Chain A
């Protein structure tokens, strides 16, 4: 309680006279360099990703001969890159909202004109013929024209529907089951809790794709072979460890006091889970749902192996089939199918982008 006299500590400035102006200009330079370096780096590393996708899209909308055409790619890049830079500049230079919108509008207008002139004439929708003409190969090349209808060619909408069904059902189950399990793991004390979490990690170390034959046998024995449901359940089991891990991280971050509050407000733990905790992990559910959906959407090995009687076309197999090169590939159509295949994932992804970034692992800080 007794304050001791603090030891002396001199505060006389030991530094020599400071040249504030040069410090300021150095700082200015450093700031600019930093920004330039960061953006240059990020642009440089992102181009290798953007470019192929962009190529896919340009081919899908421009290829005519069935042979990949790259001139259009470079021409459209010549439009798109300056446009992006323009948008950035507009965003950076604008001092207020009006200027911002004005800048955007100007850049956009120039972009539209330039695009129409440079790329427009090459664009067409012909490669998307597969959407309305299942036997598009015969139409495109009038090769097997006379035998049309002898055997159904796979219909892309059929494949699309199957894929949506598989991915959607799988997502619904994974999200439900993982939420339940992750909540329990995160918020209940029970014997074996730690070993449960450990086994989740261990499960992740199982090479699922090499277990296809045992799975095939097992599905057969329990009568789920050759059913969509069987495939979905296998996919679910495969995705569960990851989903539980991620969901658990989100549950860990939910404040305890609102759950406590719900309990004293008369909810059981189950009711509190549904009405109070679950809404707090919406972001987690979205993130997990997106990843799971993509996983189901792209699946092909399981679908191919476990569905033996049903018409089991999925988008992945359809994509395979379209690019089967024994008879020659039509790159335009393949790209168009690719674009079509990509669209649902992209839509989903754009809708959920900002939630995906909130994924963390476990409630561990630091």
Chain B
């Protein structure tokens, strides 16, 4: 018998311990399978814990580690980073393997696979998904004079493109003016995916569909920044949103001091219910709280939601690609993935999971899955992580009054053109 050690690089992340945990468990299943096959090989998973704060830091560190040839056999990453690894040939192309193991990968939502693709093929296995949205506080809206009909129709109006980004600002403004709530719209105070929704709404997709290169359109950028600028001007978005603590922002929203909170579905399970005691019962929840996807920029435009899948990736130089693929296949088993989904309020990757009673019971998941229809991904461009940092700086500049919307667009373009390669500017 021969033990194959497979190293899994995993960020020590309280928001998803089972991403690595499931791989560890999968080893048992794979080993049974190998035994049944009569193979002498047995797999042992060694987890390399990374203490990086955030997926971007983690990816940069991992790139260095691959750079000196010390990379792991497999790793967990945010999907938008995989092409950065692919570019340098660090990761294994998976198309053939995926085709070879339909029992593991066949039923994964096809839309999720697109988050795992680089220009020439598939390089990752989706591990989970989520939905990003604008949560809102119905009580405050009611206090501000909106009736229940209006409030309850907001999700549908958004989906149909009737409710716009600017209307969100309007509603928020009413709330700030008419209630004792202090804030209209709050968003995350660090670099991340959520606010990209706003950019998507204004038509920024950031990739040139033809070349796959990064694409920056000055007007669209300015329009998106304009939304933030207006928000601050109207007194709806605090000028210091980016200076606040993540938790302070949540506290403001969940304790009724803000109308909207732009964040992701897992926030319910991890913070809203346990910390702020929001009703866990579906009906009770929706009585006072609700969410909408990212609205369209103009009436009749298309709404967006954003999902930010985390993926499993296999190193190009692993000695046992076959085993690694099979291992990750087992880790993607519906039951294991559901464990992860329900304990951390993330979306599953396979339709089978929807049947799992545990999954069904976790109504936020079921309800959020609806958004997958209109969901978008961050572009799988090797340089998007960096671009996002620049965009975040732009938002900070606009909100804190250091830049106008137009200047922010110029800033992003200028920074990106000097720091990044092959950026197409329009």
Binding site for B on A (CB under 8 A): 65-67, 137, 141-144, 146-147, 150-154, 213, 216-217, 220, 225-226, 304-305, 308-309, 311-313, 317, 320-321, 324-329, 331
What chain A residues lie within 8 Å of B15 (beta carbons)?
326-327
What chain A residues lie within 8 Å of B25 (beta carbons)?
150
Contact segment of B43-51, B223-231, B395-403: B43-51
Residue B20, interface by CB 8 Å: yes
Whether B49 and A154, one on each chain, are in contact in the complex, defined by CB atoms closer than 8 angstroms, is yes
What chain B residues lie within 8 Å of A311 (beta carbons)?
49
Whether A225 and B51, one on each chain, are in contact in the complex, defined by CB atoms closer than 8 angstroms, is no
What chain B residues lie within 8 Å of A329 (beta carbons)?
245-247
For the A-B complex with A146-B343, A305-B61 known, give 5 more contacts whose Cβ atoms are closer than 8 Å: A146-B339, A150-B21, A216-B64, A325-B245, A327-B15
The one of B12, B61, B274 that contacts A141, using a Cβ cutoff of 8 Å: B274
Whether A324 and B14, one on each chain, are in contact in the complex, defined by CB atoms closer than 8 angstroms, is yes
The one of B47, B70, B271 that contacts A328, using a Cβ cutoff of 8 Å: B271
What chain B residues lie within 8 Å of A327 (beta carbons)?
14-15, 270-271
Q: Give Cα A328 to B22, complex, Å.
A: 23
Whether A150 and B70, one on each chain, are in contact in the complex, defined by CB atoms closer than 8 angstroms, is no
B31-59 interface (Cβ within 8 A of A):
47-49, 51-53
Residue B379, interface by CB 8 Å: no
Q: A144-B344, A146-B339, A320-B51 are in contact. Are A151 and B61 (CB under 8 A)?
A: no
What chain B residues lie within 8 Å of A320 (beta carbons)?
51, 53
Residue B275, interface by CB 8 Å: yes
Is the interface on chain B under 10, 10 to 19, 20 to 34, or 35 or more residues?
35 or more
CB-based A-B contact count at 8 angstroms: 101
Whether B344 and A321, one on each chain, are in contact in the complex, defined by CB atoms closer than 8 angstroms, is no
Q: Give Cα A313 to B12, complex, Å.
A: 10
Q: Give Cα A147 to B271, complex, Å.
A: 18
Q: Scan B334-353; emit 1 where CB is below 8 A from any A CB, else 0.
A: 00000110011000000000
Q: A311-B49, A317-B51 are in contact. Are A154 and B12 (CB under 8 A)?
A: yes
What chain A residues lie within 8 Å of B48 (beta carbons)?
308-309
What chain B residues lie within 8 Å of A144 (beta carbons)?
17-18, 343-344
Q: Give Cα A122 to B251, complex, Å.
A: 22
Residue B269, interface by CB 8 Å: yes
Q: A150-B18, A153-B12, A328-B270 are in contact. Are A304 and B61 (CB under 8 A)?
A: yes
Residue B104, interface by CB 8 Å: no
Whether A328 and B53, one on each chain, are in contact in the complex, defined by CB atoms closer than 8 angstroms, is no
Whether A147 and B339, one on each chain, are in contact in the complex, defined by CB atoms closer than 8 angstroms, is yes
Report 8 cross-chain contacts, Cβ distance below 8 Å, ordered by A residue.
A67-B275, A137-B14, A147-B339, A220-B68, A304-B52, A308-B65, A308-B70, A311-B49
What chain A residues lie within 8 Å of B292 (beta carbons)?
none
